[in-house]
Structure 1
């Protein structure tokens, strides 16, 4: 690949920016990575499992205990967004370095 082709290739978003977006707003990391369908699926499962655990949790449980299913999927979504962004960042860096 020559330098002209490298300048035409769009640089991926920095993984730390994707991580911050994913932590602040569920699904935002996947949208920034260009995977909006994946973001919708993650949000659907967050809401679904959050609702199920609220219904099944014993009375008197903490907020985290009542919404454990949704929080679990949220954590998976944050990791997924960051790892995908990191992979794209490293592929871009190794392809066009030097």
Structure 2
């Protein structure tokens, strides 16, 4: 039986999810979900940017996208953690 490659460590996925929206999901093996989060983060950032006034802060003007990005971080970490723990359990059974 061939040994399965170890998934990316959950902390690495967490770090990448914090740096760029969607990248954590791609590393965790769910690229479509990651691209979806990245797309909607950008879309909602643009929508909130164009629906606010210029006197708002950058955070306020891009709040919609930042909200989606913030939701994607724990989601990517959870997926990576589940994948990693499943892999560890399979390895301990095989050993």
TM over 0.5: yes
Q: How far 1:50 moved relative to its partner?
A: 0.4
Instruction: Say which is worse superposed, 20-29 or 69-78, in terms of deviation.
Output: 20-29
Tell me the TM-score normalized by structure 2: 0.85
Aligned pair 1:28/2:33, yes or no?
Answer: no
Given candidates 52, 60, 64, the residue that maps to 1:57 is 52
Tell me the SS of whatever aligns to 1:58: coil
Unmatched segments (≥5 aa) in structure 2: none
Aligned pair 1:46/2:47, yes or no?
Answer: no
2:81 paired residue number? 86
**Cα deviations by residue, 1:15-39 (Å, 9 ceiling, x for unpaired):** 0011111112222111111211112
Q: How many residues matched?
A: 93
2-structure distance, mates of 1:82, 1:49: 22
Unmatched segments (≥5 aa) in structure 1: none
Q: Which runs of 4+ in 1 moved over 6 A?
A: none
Tell me the TM-score normalized by structure 1: 0.83
RMSD of equivalent CA atoms: 1.6
Tell me the SS of whatever aligns to 1:8: coil
